[in-house]
Amino acid sequence: MAAFPKAETSYFVGLRCANPTLHVELNNLGKQKMKKSGLMHDLLTGKVQVTVDNNTAEAAHD
């Protein structure tokens, strides 16, 4: 059985360590997209109303 060169072994070990983190981050991204979609739906259908502070609105236009 042939042994992998040290560089390739390090590469595969790094991928194996990064995979669980990537899975968690993709899961979090999916949850955030679902929240955003739900909030947009609530705002567009009028289920939730937005009140705008005049000071904030003026600062945004400056």
Q: For residues 35 and 7, what is the distance between their CA atoms, to the nearest angstrom? A: 42
Domain boundaries, the chain: 17-61
Residue carrying structure tokens 């947009």: 40
Q: Report pLDDT for 51.
A: 87
Buried b or exposed e, range 38-54, using 16+ CB within 10 angstroms: eeeeeeeeeeeeeeeee
Tell me the whole-structure pTM to 2 decimals: 0.56
What is the Cα–Cα distance from 11 to 14, expressed in whole angstroms?
5
pLDDT digits (tens, 9 = 90+) for 4-55: 667 777 877 777 888 888 889 999 999 999 999 999 999 999 999 888 888 8
